[in-house]
Every structure is written in structure tokens, then in C-alpha cells.
Homo-oligomer: A and B are copies of this chain.
Amino acid sequence: MEVGQTHVEHAEITPELVREFAKVSGDYNPIHLDEEFARTTPFGRPIAHGLLSGALLSGIMGTRFPGRGTVLLETSLLFKRPVFVGEKIEFRLRVEHVRPDKPIVTIACQIFNSQGELTAEGETVVKTS
């Protein structure tokens, strides 16, 4: 990994994926799952769990960029806009720092919705294998 290296990929936040994340996390908050409840919120319709984006980011880092054997040491995410259930999102990753002494890399990530609006951004420090 070198500073400046980038990686882009896309994911669709299907209702099935949101239901599966609810099951694994135990997060059955109706704002994510119940259209009627979501209509009573400022969002007007169901939004994806913020940490579903985080989970997909873990998937990218643990299998493709950097790839297998990667271990997360530290992660942060700032949620700027909701991701609505059914939306397609884009992950843009960039290597920000590489430790000279150890295989430890800082990767910045921005997540955009299909209108090109930033939905979340953050940094993750990983140990590569």
C-alpha cells in the first residue's frame, strides 16, 4: 500500500440487506424497517443503519482493499446525510498514511449517494497482513 492509492466501489442498499443487518445487529429500530414509523420522522421514509455502511466498508477492507488478513485497529465515521433504503452508494477509499516501521495503514473513506452527495466520511487504521 502506498499513500495516494485509491479504490472505488458501489453497493446497493436493498431492503433485504437492511433486514439482514437488523437481524445480525439486533437493531430493529423502526426508523430502518417500518415505513409507517419512518413517515413520522424528518426523513419521511426508511433509512439504512449508519453502521451498515460501516459493515460494507469492513467488507471492502477485509477482502479487497487492502484485502484478506486485514485487521481494523481504529475506525471513525461521521454521518452527514441518511442513506435511504433502496439507494445505491459509492465508496471512495484513499490511503492517507503508511507507517514506515509496521504494516499499519490509515485509509480515508467517503461514501456518496447516487446524487453524488456525501453521506458519510471517516478514517480507518488497519494492520495489513
**A62, B75: Cβ atoms under 8 Å?**
no
From A63-71, A94-102, A110-118, the one touching the partner chain is A63-71
Q: Bound complex: CA of A71 vs CA of B37, how far in Å? A: 14
Chain A, residues 4-47, CB within 8 Å of chain B (1/0): the string is 00000000000001001101111111111000010001000001
Chain A interface: which size bin? 35 or more
| A50-98 contacts to B (CB < 8 Å) | 50-52, 54-63, 68-79, 82
- Which partner residue on chain B sits nearest A51 by CB separation? B58
**A24, B26: Cβ atoms under 8 Å?**
no
Q: Bound complex: CA of A25 vs CA of B60, how far in Å? A: 8
**Given contacts A21-B24, A26-B63, A79-B74, is CB(A69)–CB(B41) below 8 Å?**
yes
